[in-house]
A and B are shown apart, each in its own frame.
Chain A
Amino acid sequence: MTTTRGIDFAHLSLKDALDLAVLVEEEAQERYDEFTHQMKTHDTPEAASFFAFMSRNEKKHGDELRARRLELFGDAPRSVERAMIFDIEAPDYDQARAFMSARQALTAALASETKAHAFFVAALPAIQDPKVKALFAELRDEEIEHQKLVQAELAKLPPSEDLGDAFADEPVAH
Chain B
Amino acid sequence: MSNALPVVDKKFEPKDFKSDLKPIWCPGCGDFGVLQSLYRALAAIGRPAHEIAFVSGIGCSSRIPGYTTAYGFNTVHGRALPIAQGIKIANPSLLVLCAGGDGDGFSIGGGHVAHAVRRNIDLTYIVMDNQIYGLTKGQLSPTSPRGLKTVTSSLGSLEDPVNPLLYVLGYGASFVAQGTAADLPGLAAIIEEGIRFPGFAFINVQSPCVTYGEDEWQIKEQRARMKSLESLGHDPKDQLHAMDLARAYGKELYTGVFYRNPAPSPTYDQLVLERQKEKGASAPDPARVLDSLIQR
Contact = CB atoms under 8 A, between A and B. Distances in A.
A94 B28 contact: yes
Given A86-B184, A171-B212, A39 B27 contact: yes
A83 B28 contact: no
Give the most central of A3, A5, A87, A94: most B CB within 10 Å: A94
Interface in B137-176: 137-138, 149-151, 154
A1 B219 CA distance: 11
A172 B24 contact: no
Interface in A34-88: 34-35, 37-39, 41-42, 44, 81-83, 86-87
Contact of A173 (B22, B29, B43, B150): B150
A98 B149 CA distance: 23
A86 B185 contact: yes
A39 B26 CA distance: 9
B184 A94 contact: no
A82 B184 CA distance: 14
Contact of A98 (B23, B26, B36, B43): B26
B182 to A, nearest CB: 7
B101 interface: no
Contact of B26 (A5, A37, A42, A92): A42
A93 B138 contact: no
A114 B14 CA distance: 26
A83 B22 CA distance: 21
B245 interface: no
Give the most central of B26, B30, B188, B212: most A CB within 10 Å: B26
Category for how many chain B residues contact A: 35 or more
A95 B27 CA distance: 8
Given A3-B185, A173-B154, A174-B154, A83 B40 contact: yes
Contacts of B138: 170-171
Contacts of B154: 173-174
Interface in A116-174: 168-174
Nearest to B35: A93
Given A83-B14, A86-B185, A41 B150 contact: no
A173 B149 contact: yes
B227 interface: no
Contact of A171 (B29, B44, B150, B219): B150
Contacts of A173: 149-151, 154
Nearest to B150: A171
B27 A83 contact: no
B27 A170 contact: no
Give the most central of B151, B154, B210, B220: most A CB within 10 Å: B210
Give the most central of A3, A171, A174: most B CB within 10 Å: A171
Give the most central of A92, A168, A174: most B CB within 10 Å: A92
Given A94-B219, A173-B149, A42 B27 contact: yes
Given A5-B185, A35-B27, A94 B212 contact: no
Contacts of A171: 137-138, 150-151, 212
A58 to B, nearest CB: 16
Nearest to B44: A83
Contacts of A12: none
B249 interface: no
Contacts of B137: 169, 171
B43 A83 contact: yes
A170 B213 CA distance: 9
Contacts of B22: 34, 37, 41
26 contacts: A1-B183, A1-B184, A34-B32, A35-B27, A38-B27, A41-B22, A44-B27, A82-B13, A87-B184, A92-B219, A93-B28, A93-B29, A93-B33, A94-B219, A94-B220, A97-B27, A100-B27, A169-B137, A170-B138, A170-B212, A171-B150, A171-B151, A172-B151, A173-B150, A173-B151, A174-B151
Interface of A: 1, 3, 5, 34-35, 37-39, 41-42, 44, 81-83, 86-87, 92-98, 100, 168-174
Interface of B: 11, 13-15, 22-24, 26-30, 32-33, 36, 40, 43-44, 137-138, 149-151, 154, 181-185, 188, 210-212, 218-220, 223
Nearest 10 A/B pairs, CB to CB = A171-B138, A96-B27, A94-B219, A173-B154, A38-B27, A93-B32, A3-B185, A171-B151, A86-B185, A173-B149
